Chains A and B, each alone.
Chain A
Amino acid sequence: MVSIGPQIKRGSAELAILSVLAEGPLHGYQIAKRIEHQTRGLLRFNLASLYPLLYRMEKRGWVKGTWEDPPGGRRRRYYRLAPAGRRRLVPLREEWAQFFRALNRLAGVAHA
């Protein structure tokens, strides 16, 4: 398995959270599990890395957290993508796609 450095992980964290929330509202633990599952364990968030980032993104208006009582479950704080977060996600995806394309080209040249 490829290991990704902490700098790249930090930079990609916002994209990861916004991407999973684009699929629907989730509470914090679900966000962490969903990201871990969808990246096959490559990206992992724990309590210390997830919540400060979530709160910061909430302050910026990218995500919105609300307390909800799901039927049959306990009261949880669910996060959903706010319109500003949806707008932020589009260029963020493009920036990362360009970044990886550039890395691929670099790797291609290096191996040529």
Chain B
Amino acid sequence: MPDWQEIARRRLTPLALEAKRQEEIIVELADHLEDLYSDLVRQGKSEVEALKFALSTVADWDELRREIQLAANEEVIMKYRIKTLWLPGVCTSVLSSVLLQWFQRVPPAPPVIRLWQGTYLIIHWGWLLCLPLIGALGAYWSRRAGGKLLDRVLAASLYALALTCAMALGFCIGLVSDFGASLRLGLVGFVVDLLGYGIAPFLLLLLGALPFLRGDAAESRRAAVSH
């Protein structure tokens, strides 16, 4: 009789699961293979044929390993994304948005720089000064929740990225709907908005996030899973 547990262990490990759960899965799958093998031998197949057939029921062991890990970690992965990216990212975005509204309404009025043919750049300096703090908050929150480097960057800068995407979408829609308007003017307006509400905020948010981008991601992940 083949050592089914050894066969399953060799093909499936390492699984990104707790050692106890990994061993349980190996034993369970080995039991399944052994049952199948025994049935086939009872039905008259030779041991070699039965072994070959039992092993052929898994076409791709790497794929099976991925599927099992995904199934076992489905909930953990979802919670991880919410905790390390979406929750801090959405909160810092709301905070950035509320502060922008506040600085737009509360005096003194921000300086306006006239550029070209009616386009102008508004410097919301009060808001811009707040952005590094908001970026720091997002990155710190994500790191504390166990976020990887990319999660921390995204959690800190989600607002600027979302705004950039929205502006790009608006520009594209504008191109289609206002076909007769000046493309050059539209493009200048888009670039100015992109600078004022996309690129500059992104850099400032990232500046604030910098101190929290360092740290062991693996350790953070372990902390997140253990929470």
A interface residue numbers (CB < 8 A to B): 27-29, 32, 46-48, 50-53, 55-56, 59, 67, 74, 76-77
Contacts and interface: CB of A to CB of B under 8 A. Distances in A.
Contact of B70 (A27, A29, A51, A52): A52
Q: Classify the secondary structure of A's interface with B.
A: helix
B36 interface: yes
**What band does the interface of chain B fall in when counting residues whose beta carbon is under 8 Å from A?**
20 to 34
A59 B72 contact: yes
Interface in B46-65: 57-60, 63-64
Contact of A47 (B29, B70, B72): B29
Nearest to A55: B71
A50 to B, nearest CB: 8
B75 interface: yes
Nearest to B56: A46
Given A47-B32, A48-B58, A48-B63, 15 more contacts: A46-B57, A47-B29, A47-B36, A47-B64, A51-B25, A51-B32, A52-B67, A55-B25, A55-B71, A55-B72, A56-B71, A59-B72, A59-B75, A67-B24, A74-B31
Interface of B: 24-25, 27-29, 31-33, 35-36, 57-60, 63-64, 67-68, 70-72, 74-75
Contact of A59 (B28, B58, B60, B71): B71
Q: Classify the secondary structure of B's interface with A.
A: helix
A67 B31 CA distance: 12
B31 A51 contact: no
A48 B58 CA distance: 6
Nearest to B36: A29
B32 A48 contact: no
A48 B74 contact: no
Contact of A76 (B31, B58, B67, B70): B31
A77 B28 contact: yes
A56 B36 contact: no
